[in-house]
Amino acid sequence: MIPQSRFSSLLLGAMLWFSLPALAEEHADWPKGHYPLPESGDIIGEVYTVETREEETLLDVAREHNVGYEEIRLANPEVSIWVPGEGTEVVIPARRILPPVAREGIVINIAELRLYYYPEVGEGETPRVETYPIGIGRDGYDTPLGVTKTTMRLNDPAWYPPRSMREEAAERGDPPPAVVPPGPDNPLGSHAILLDIPGYLIHGTNQPDGIGMRASRGCIRMYPEDIASVFDRVPDGTKVNIIEQPIKVAWEDGKAHVQVYQALEDQEHGMQAYLETLAILERHDQEAPVSVDYEQLRGLLEDPDGRVVVLAPAPEPEVLVEEKDRGLYDDLGIRDDFLDALET
């Protein structure tokens, strides 16, 4: 007879074993960009490849697979944006490190050109994160950083061109209308979520090719289908944390993983971000000493491509031949004059 404790363990193991395929199937059916929160660590998703179809552009592939312009371009530098050709292999950079902030509400990492949404889940539901490519403010119209919240959702919003745009257009002799009604010419698209920062919104767009670029006047743009998918699920008053984190670090299986989006010299607060990265690595080293190759890290900071990269261990220091170590070489028949020349 099997002891009661042993029987309970076997029963629990069997339940877990048979539930694994169901869980895997459940997650496989999730939309692109939706992931269960990792039980440990900060890495989600995987890199994979697809082949282009006839007359499909690289931007078409990006939109279908939940990535933006900069991401798809960096992952496929040799592939033509507009005419990749049928059957061309395209890398989809879907492996990411979660931003190093609280996993609640909406997190927008402008350095990454990406939005993360952590929806509240009911009892028995799998905690998850949804991530979407975005467009943000161009130079001179920087998207503001800080913690704010959503205040109102507008379906089919009208667009009122800001004063600065009206003045610029008037100088060109082409003044815009005072208001643009809902429709294909409306740059807000069909959905808008107002933020508690006057004049700033998360909204759709009538120019989806600009997603993944710094092209707006400060607002956060999303693909029309993406803003539509979250519009009814983001309650008014949802926390929104807008950060600039060009370097992200995570640990998995005792190895340091780094994801870099902007070259250090191009970062407004590059040195601060670099020092924070070193501090994260050193704090982990103190808890569980793991050496990393800082030369490799420097190379990633000089030429980033947005990939999640495993940092190699630090190279072994070169060992000089000391006088006390000559015995081994003498035993091998190596002459002293050769050793002297080696040391010189």
Which residues belong to the active site? 203, 219
Residue partners of 77: CB distance under 8 A and separation at least 6? none
Burial of 237 (0-12, 13-18, 19+ CB in 10 A): exposed
Q: Are 191 and 153 in contact (CB under 8 A)?
A: yes
What b/e readout covers 151-183, taking b as 16+ CB neighbours within 10 angstroms?
eebbeebebebeeeeeeeeeeeeeeeeeebeee
Q: How many CB atoms lie within 10 A of CB 320?
A: 8
Parallel/antiparallel/unpaired status of strands 255-260 and 247-252:
antiparallel
Calculate ∠ Cα 36-39-41, nearest 5°.
105
82, 73 Cβ separation under 8 angstroms: no
Residue 324 vs residues 99, 295, 331, 336, 343: alpha-carbon distances, Å:
51, 32, 13, 13, 13
Strand partners, 201: 194
Place of tokens 């080293």: 285
